[in-house]
Copies of this chain bind each other. A is one copy, B any other.
C-alpha cells in the first residue's frame, strides 16, 4: 500500500467522522436488545429534522432511507455537495411540506453517516467495530428510530414514509408500532426480500470480501479501503435500480466521444463509463462493511415469517392508513410484491389505497421527480392530514 493511499484513507476516515457533528446525534440512554439477541450499548443515532413540531405534537413525519441513503433527505449533502436525496418530495411547498410538518430522518442502525455502524468505534476496544458489530435487522433499525422519536419527545407519528429498504421500515413500523403511526406510505418495496434480490446482494458482498483490501473486515484499523470490491458491488446493484428500456433510451449502444470501437477493454460504451463512475463515486461516500450489514438486513426481512407465516397478522387491528406505491418498470421490487402487501392489508381490513405508477425509470423512480409519484404522495398526505385534523397548508 502506497503512502498516498494511506494518507487518503486517513483523510477520508477523518472526513467521515468530522461529518457526523453536522448532523444531530442522539445518544440512546438504554442499550438496544437486537433481534439476534445481542445487546448493543452506547448506540448513537444521527439525524436531521426540518420544520417545527406543533403544540399538539401531531405533525411529525418520519422519513426512512434506502440501502445507501442517509439522513440528509432535504439538505445539501455534506460529503457529496449534492441536494438532499429526496428534495423533490420533502421541503417547503413539497408534498411532505416542511412548513407544515416536523420531518425527521435518521441514518439507519448499521449505516455509516453517524449512526452506530461497523465503522463506529467499539467502546470496548477503542477501534472500529468492523465485523464485531452484531448483525442488525430492519426491526432493529426501526427500534433505533423509535428510540430517537422518543428522545425527540414525540409519541405519535403523523406519517412514516420511505421507498425500497425505507419501505420495509415503513411496514415494520406499522407492524411493530402501529398505534404510533397514523399514515404509512411504503413505496417500491416488499414484505420480504426475494431470492433474486438476495442473490444480487450476495454478489455484492462477495465482491467486497474478495477485495484483499477488505482485510477480513479490519480495513479501517489497517489503513486500507476495499475500493475496487465495493465499486464492483455498486455497479452490479446499480443495474438493478434501472430498467432495460431506460438503459436503452439513455445509453443504448452509444459509444463514448471516440467515434469508433477501440477493440480493447476501455469503456467504449457510454453505459460502461457511467457504471464505472457510479462505482467509483459510491466508494467516496459509503463504508464497505456498512454495505455488508445493511444488505444483510434487507435479505433477512420477512414480515410474514415474523407473524406465523401470515402477512395479514402483521397488520391485525391496524388503524393506520396505508398508501402502497409501485412502478411498472421496477424489476427489483415488482408490482407483484406491492400487491402482496395490499392483499394482506385487505385481509386485515386495513385502510389501504394502491397506486401502480407507469414509468420506465425502474426501481430508482422512487427517488426521481416522477410527477405521478409527487401527486400521489401529495394527495395521500393532504387527505391523511385532513383526517388527522391538521390545519391545511
Contact = CB atoms under 8 A, between A and B. Distances in A.
Interface of A: 35-36, 38, 131, 134-135, 192-196, 198-200, 202-203, 205-207, 209-212, 228-229, 231-232, 235-236, 239, 242, 244, 247-248, 250-253, 261, 263-265, 267-269, 271-272, 275-276, 279, 292, 296, 299-300, 302, 305, 331, 334
A112 to B, nearest CB: 17
A134 B236 contact: no
A231 to B, nearest CB: 7
Given A36-B263, A253-B302, 8 more contacts: A35-B263, A135-B264, A194-B247, A207-B210, A210-B211, A210-B229, A253-B305, A261-B300
Interface of A is mostly: helix
Copies per assembly? 2
Nearest to A252: B195
Contacts of A205: 265
Contact of A194 (B134, B228, B244, B299): B244
Closest 6 pairs between A and B when the two form their complex, measured CB to CB: A210-B228, A36-B263, A195-B247, A135-B263, A195-B251, A202-B272
Nearest to A210: B228
B194 A239 contact: no
A193 B231 contact: no
Contacts of A296: 265
A195 B253 contact: yes
A271 B239 contact: no
A159 to B, nearest CB: 29
A233 to B, nearest CB: 9
29 contacts: A35-B263, A38-B263, A131-B265, A134-B263, A194-B248, A195-B247, A195-B250, A196-B239, A196-B244, A198-B253, A199-B235, A199-B271, A200-B236, A202-B235, A202-B271, A203-B236, A203-B275, A206-B279, A207-B210, A210-B228, A210-B229, A244-B334, A253-B302, A253-B305, A261-B300, A265-B292, A265-B296, A268-B299, A269-B299
Contacts of A231: 206, 210
A192 B228 contact: no
Contacts of A203: 232, 235-236, 239, 275
Contact of A239 (B199, B235, B276): B199
Contacts of A299: 268-269
Nearest to A217: B265
Nearest to A35: B263
A304 to B, nearest CB: 10
A134 to B, nearest CB: 7
Nearest to A239: B199
Contacts of A198: 253, 269, 271-272
A133 to B, nearest CB: 11
A214 to B, nearest CB: 11
Given A36-B263, A198-B253, A253-B198, A232 B248 contact: no
A252 B309 CA distance: 14
Contacts of A193: 253
